[in-house]
Amino acid sequence: MIDMATLTTVLAVPLALAFLLAGWRMVSGPSFADRFVALDMLTAIAVGFAALTTLATGRGAFLDIALGISLINFVATAAFAVFLERKRRRQ
């Protein structure tokens, strides 16, 4: 059976790659919507890293951090959707 340190390392590698790719899209995105979707993805990856940290350390406090990041992300996404809708109505 695989030990916990190896498992977290194996799971952290694709998360780190996804983090780099989403960060690149956020920097080079052609529109605000692309950049915001990349920011959404970055926060989802941060939740994944918090879950992996919980798995590695055994401390449940990191799940609270993941929940906080998720809630902030949800509110920010809703606010950005309202912003885009108002911008479209003005045109």
Q: Which CATH class is domain 4-90?
A: mainly alpha
Amino acid 3: pLDDT: 87
One digit per residue, the tens of pLDDT, for the chain of length 91 reads 888 889 899 999 999 999 999 999 999 989 888 888 999 999 999 999 999 999 999 999 999 999 999 999 999 999 988 988 888 777 7
pLDDT score recorded for residue 81: 87
3-class secondary structure per residue, 12-64:
HHHHHHHHHHHHHHHHHCCCHHHHHHHHHHHHHHHHHHHHHHHHHHCCCHHHH
Query: What is the pTM (predicted TM-score) of this model?
Result: 0.85
